[in-house]
Amino acid sequence: MLKSRVILTFMLLLLPTLACGLADQLLEPEATVAPPPTVDGLAPTSTIASDAPATDDGAAPTPTLAVGSTPGAPTLEELGEPPDSLAQLRDWVGRAHAAAASLDDVCAALAAAQWRQAQETCDAADLDGDAQEEWLFTIDFSRLQEEPLSPLQEGHPGDFWIVGDGGLLFQAREGQEPDFFAGAPQPMQLVDMTGDDLPEVVSVFTTCGAHTCYGYYQVIGAHDGAIRNLVQLSPQEQEVEESLPDTIGLAYVDREEIRDANGDDLPDLVIHGGIVGSAGAGIQRARTEVWAWSGEAITLEEQQWEETEYRFHWLYNANYAFEQEDYDLAAAQYEEVIINPNLQDVEGITGTAQETRDYTRQFAGFRLTLLPLLRGDITESTRWRNWLQEEYPQAPMTAAADRLFTEWDSNGNNLIAACNAVTQLLEAADNPTGPLTDMGYNNPSLTAESVCPIE
C-alpha cells in the first residue's frame, strides 16, 4: 500500500512539468529564413515553388519550378542588368520571360538602362490563347543614336516588341536598321478585330519629312501559328509604301478610331487625313480609310474622299467606283464630269486649265463608251462614241473609242481582247492622257494603261 502511494505521489508531481514542456513546444515559433537581398534595386524573383512536399526518407525535397518558368532558366538577378547591345537585348528579354520574372521589374530595369521610356506602355496580354501572357513594350533607340535628334523627329526612335515563349516573337522593324527619323511604334489599343476572341494590338508610329508627317499603322495578332502583322496591302498600295511592308500609311492623320464601320460586328481601323504639305503634291482632298478583317488579313475595305468641286477629282471618284465594280455609280459620275458646268478646272503640272478640262472629259467619254459593252448595250456605247467624235474628233481617246467599238463587234464581243487593242493603240500615241499623267505626286497618274483596264 505504501509503495503505491509513493508512485502516485511521484506522478502527480511529474505531470505539471510534462504539461509545461508540451506547451512550450506548441507555442515555440517556426524558424524563418531571410529573403535574398535585392539586386540593383529590383525585387528578387524566385523560380522555386514554396509548397514542395517532403520526401518519404526525410531528405530535403527536390526544388520544383514555379508555373510559367522554364527548367534551367535564370532569375532576373542572375541575368543582371540589360546589355548595351541591341542583339544581346533581344536575348535578355527572352530569357527574362522564360524565367517568369516580374514584368514590372523587367520594364523598370529597361527604363533604368535607358532602353525604354518609363511613361510608355509596359503591358501583358494573352495574344495566342495559350493561357500564358506575352509582354508588350516599346524599345527606345535613342541611346544608339550618335547624332542629336533631328528637328523633324516625332517622339523618339525605337521599336515595338512582343516577347513570349520562345523569346522575341514580334518586332515592328524586324529586318530593318533603326530609323532615327521615325517615332517609335506605340500600342494604340488592344481589341479583337478578327472575331477569334483573342486580342490584336493596333500600333502606330509617326515619321516626318520636310513638309509632311505620316501616320503608320500595324495590326498584330496570332494567326497561322505565329504572332505577326495582319495588315495586307494591295500591290498598288505596296508600291507607295515599298520601304514598309504591309504597313498602313496616311499623311497628316487628324482622326483615328477603332469602331465597326462596315456593320459586320467587328471593330475596324478608321483613319482620316491624306493631305501632303508640298506644292508638288498637287490639289488634294482629305479622305477616310476603313481597314477591316477580310477573313484572311486586315485590308483596305473603303476609301471615302471629302466633297470637291474640281472636275478631275470627280473623275477620280468615278474611276474608284469603276474599280469597285459599282458601274451604275461610275456611269453617273462620269456623266457629271462631262456635263456639269459648275465643276472647276485647274492648271495641271504639265497643262493649262483648259487642257485639264478637255482630257478629263475625254477620259470620262471613253469610259462611258466602255461601260455599256459590259452588259452588251451597243446603243448606249455608240451614243458616247459619237459624242467623242463630235467634241474631240482628233483626240487619241476618240480613236481609242473607235478601236474599242470595232474590236468588240468583230471578235465576238471579247472585251478583254478589245481593251488590249486599245492599250496598244494608246501606247503608240504621244501622251494620250495629257495633264492627267501628272496632277501632282499625291494624285493618281492616268496613263495609256489606265484607260481600258479590263483583264
Tens of pLDDT, residues 163-173: 999 999 999 98
Task: Judge whether 151 and 217 are in contact, CB under 8 Å.
Answer: no
Residues 128-153: tens digit of each pLDDT: 999 999 999 999 998 888 766 555 55
| Helix or strand run (H / E) with residue 316 | helix 311-323
Percent of the chain at pLDDT > 90 equals: 66
Identify the pLDDT of residue 121: 82
Nearest-5° Cα angle at 253, 150 to 247: 80
Is residue 412 pLDDT above 60, yes or no? Answer: yes
The structure's pTM equals: 0.76
Greater confidence, 67 or 408? Answer: 408
Nine-digit cell string for 38:
535585392
Write out the H or E segment, with its range, that includes residue 359.
helix 353-374
Contact between 416 and 453 under an 8 Å Cβ cutoff? The reply is: no
What DSSP string describes 189-217? Answer: EEE--SSSSS-EEEEEEEEE-SS-EEEEE
What is the mean pLDDT of the segment spanning 187-207? 95
Predicted confidence (pLDDT) at residue 24 exceeds the cutoff of 60: no
Query: To which residue does cell 523633324 refer?
Result: 152
pLDDT over threshold 50, residue 178: yes
Q: Answer whether 142's CB lies under 8 Å from 123's CB.
A: no
Q: Which of 33-42, 148-157, 293-302 has the lowest mean pLDDT?
A: 33-42
The per-residue b/e assignment along 416-446, b for 16 or more CB within 10 angstroms, e otherwise, is eebbebbbebbeeeeebbbbbbbbbebbbeb
Domain boundaries, the chain: 76-306, 312-451
Q: What is the predicted pLDDT for the residue at 58?
A: 40
Query: Measuring CA to CA, how many Å separate 177 from each of 110, 158, 189?
Result: 20, 10, 26
Amino acid identity for residue 151 in this structure: P
pLDDT, tens only, 260-300: 999 999 999 999 999 998 888 999 999 999 999 999 999 99
pLDDT at 16: 41
